[in-house]
Chains A and B, each alone.
Chain A
Amino acid sequence: MLKIDNLHARVEGDAGVVEILKGLSLGVPAGEVHAIMGPNGSGKSTLSHIIAGRDDYEVTAGSVNLSGEEILDLDPNERAAKGVFLSFQHPMEIPGVATMNFIRTALNAQRKARGEAEVSAADFLRLIREKTKLVGLTDEKLKRPFNVGFSGGEKKRMEMLQMAIFEPRFCIMDETDSGLDIDALKMVGDVVNSLRGPDRGFLVITHYQRLLEHIRPDHVHVLAGGRIVKSGGPELAAELEKSGYDQFIEAA
């Protein structure tokens, strides 16, 4: 479903050009959940932003292919309409933007781009009520401007709310579990497991084994120094949590 081949990317920072991804290859077949672990600064968020279409990064080589289609030339909203969803590591507060209105506008924009009918106001209200309960937010939170004054955990719940509503085909979750308590972790697991299916893929970026106990990944990859340096089964996650990443930092 998602096939990344020999991806090289760099960014123009304050201190000049920085190479971040240096030949990253990865494949997530439909129906599978893959986890990515790796030390801070190894390029995990960069990878997720590039898949979603952030144009701060310059892709100098390689390709990203979703269900047989090259997506690197598509706009972020075109990718979203094709089912790419990113749960941000640091979700934004957007003052002045009404939460419900925004989510509904986004849902309908995606549907329109796919040639599907808009969701009526009444149906949307039913949908968002149901999913709000699922992710453990209160209706009162929906009445606030988007994420304004939310705790870190509430912002992550808002990401999961949107994932549950959009039902994207390919979900990238960038450290969604960081800073969440046990109950919230379970909720994230529930949202992922309820969406899991033969036509969907997940890329779950995490530092911790805990989330992976709720979401049994099919494969675990280690990203270090801008490359996948090791891949394995779910047992690799447990091993990493014990031994740390030092071995890979040296290797990279």
Chain B
Amino acid sequence: MAAGLKDMPERALSAQLQATFSASKADPVRLAAFERFQKTGLPHRRVEGWRWSDLNAALRDFVPANDGVSPIPPSKFSALDPVEIQIVNGRIIRPTGTLPAGLHLDVIPASATIPDLEGNSVVSLTVAMITEALEIRVDAGVKLGQPILVRHIMQCGTMAFVQVAAHLGDGAEATIIETYEDIGAGQGGFYSSLFHSDICAGATLKRRMLQNTNADAVVHAMFAANLAGGAHLNQVGLSTGGRLSRHETLAQYVGSEASAELSSAALVDASRHADFTSKILHAASGCQTRQIHKGVARDKGRAVFQGKFDVQRVAQQTDAQMSADALLLSDTSEAYHKPELEIYADDVQCAHGSTSGALDDDAMFYLRQRGLDEEMARSLLIEAFLGEVIDNLEEGEAPVFRDAIALWLKGQGA
């Protein structure tokens, strides 16, 4: 049932993909990836894991525009004084100043670092399309004070593919903030990024992700992490969706006593769609996972969450908890939440929970009795609903996320 490229020769997108691929000198890895992609085409709703997020349909009429050069505004995170890397329509622009000691940024041939993420044809496509990748390395024992900011910037209407690889040495600590932004007038666009990270023994990676793009943009972002013994991943993501946005997290514990705190929020209005999909593979003993997701949808927004904990036989003493809550603000909004546990070890503590509902009438009445108008009361309760996600942020980061939420509440999400 695969809608392979051959099934849709009329598509402007497939012609452009073919042309882009042919224009670059493909090595065997990219050639193989392109062949994998061509066999299956873009994922659609009959493909496992894509039932609620039909990427193929979202890109059906997409005609990539030529990229222009609109001015790039300063980042909302600039108050944090980050080391800023801009990736504009897929082109990597490294910072010009000197880097903090122990941090290395390089542009490397993409296929040198390609991880094995079989089974996702968008990843295959992305691998096929990229010739270079951004490499971030933090030396062992280095605790970076300055955050690293990777800005994924897309001219509205264009198509771009990006790869980032991060390596944190033993005991290193770093914060990587990723923003997905678009510039220029117009609508639409297709952006796919692939971020692979190695978090070595005892190292800590804090990843922040904020996607705020136009209503017709299609964004696919895959983040993969390998955690060695005692490593820690702390992730906070927020998306206001698009024609379709999908943020995937694929983390695996390869060493014991590693841990991850993952929190995410999808805020969707109009007919936007945001998907957070994750799989945490527990393949070592004594690891701890805490995951929370919050979906808020109004108008005809669709919020999707698919979270899976995979606990292998060797992963004894795993302690993993997941919760996913949806808040539906209109009768036409939708949330599809699918928390899943697959457990093969016996000495584990795993739990998941999921709730879905409207704003609480009693709480609304209480707040309004105290003088808040409907809009204020609603905003206060939605912010409260999202509070747990924001709580995982550092002091300087939280205001940027709070502003994004406040703008969304006012209907000015992007």
**Per-residue contact bits, chain B 343-366, to A (CB 8 Å; 1 contact, 0 not):** 000000000000000000111011
Partner of A75, one of B361, B367, B373: B373
> Complex formed: what's the CA distance from A220 to B368 in Å?
29
A54 adjacent to chain B (CB < 8 Å): yes
**How many positions in chain A have a CB within 8 Å of any CB in the partner chain?**
32
Interface residues of A in 55-102 (CB under 8 A from B): 56, 75-77, 79-81, 84-86, 88, 91-92, 94-97, 102
> Complex formed: what's the CA distance from A242 to B129 in Å?
87
Q: Which of B370, B371, B386, B388 has the most CB of A within 10 A?
A: B371
Number of A-B contacts (CB under 8 A): 74
Known A97-B380, A102-B380, A109-B376; contact A77-B368, beta-carbon cutoff 8 A: yes
B387 adjacent to chain A (CB < 8 Å): yes
B384 adjacent to chain A (CB < 8 Å): yes
Known A75-B374, A94-B363; contact A53-B368, beta-carbon cutoff 8 A: yes
Interface residues on B, range: 20 to 34
Known: A80-B371, A106-B370, A110-B370. 19 other contacts (CB 8 A): A49-B365, A52-B369, A53-B368, A54-B365, A76-B365, A77-B374, A77-B377, A80-B370, A84-B369, A92-B366, A96-B386, A96-B387, A97-B384, A103-B370, A105-B376, A109-B373, A110-B371, A145-B384, A166-B370
Partner of A96, one of B371, B377, B385: B385
Q: Which of A77, A113, A162 has the most CB of B within 10 A?
A: A77
Q: What chain A residues lie within 8 Å of B365 (beta carbons)?
A: 49, 52, 54, 76
B406 adjacent to chain A (CB < 8 Å): no
**Per-residue contact bits, chain A 144-164, to B (CB 8 Å; 1 contact, 0 not):** 010000000000000000100
> Complex formed: what's the CA distance from A31 to B386 in Å?
44
Q: What chain A residues lie within 8 Å of B377 (beta carbons)?
A: 77
> Complex formed: what's the CA distance from A56 to B368 in Å?
14
A191 to chain B, nearest CB (A): 16
Partner of B380, one of A77, A88, A105, A166: A105
Q: Which residue of A lies closest to B370 (CB)?
A: A106
B178 adjacent to chain A (CB < 8 Å): no
Partner of B369, one of A56, A80, A97, A107: A80
Q: What chain A residues lie within 8 Å of B385 (beta carbons)?
A: 96
> Complex formed: what's the CA distance from A251 to B218 in Å?
69
A187 to chain B, nearest CB (A): 20
> Complex formed: what's the CA distance from A92 to B386 in Å?
19
Q: Is the CB of B368 within 8 A of A75?
A: yes
B398 adjacent to chain A (CB < 8 Å): no
Interface residues of B in 164-219 (CB under 8 A from A): none
Q: Is the CB of A94 within 8 A of B366?
A: yes
> Complex formed: what's the CA distance from A10 to B373 in Å?
25
Q: Which residue of B lies closest to A95 (CB)?
A: B384
Q: Is the CB of A106 within 8 A of B372?
A: yes
Partner of B372, one of A53, A77, A91, A166: A77
B383 adjacent to chain A (CB < 8 Å): yes
B381 adjacent to chain A (CB < 8 Å): yes
Q: What chain A residues lie within 8 Å of B372 (beta carbons)?
A: 77, 105-106, 109
Q: What chain A residues lie within 8 Å of B368 (beta carbons)?
A: 53, 75-77, 80
> Complex formed: what's the CA distance from A49 to B388 in Å?
32
Q: What chain A residues lie within 8 Å of B386 (beta carbons)?
A: 96
> Complex formed: what's the CA distance from A161 to B152 in Å?
49
Q: What chain B residues lie within 8 Å of A94 (beta carbons)?
A: 363, 366-367, 381, 384
> Complex formed: what's the CA distance from A110 to B367 in Å?
12
Q: Is the CB of A81 within 8 A of B371?
A: yes
Q: Which residue of B lies closest to A103 (CB)?
A: B370
A115 to chain B, nearest CB (A): 14
Q: Is the CB of B388 within 8 A of A96?
A: yes
A172 to chain B, nearest CB (A): 10
Q: Which of B362, B363, B366 has the most CB of A within 10 A?
A: B366
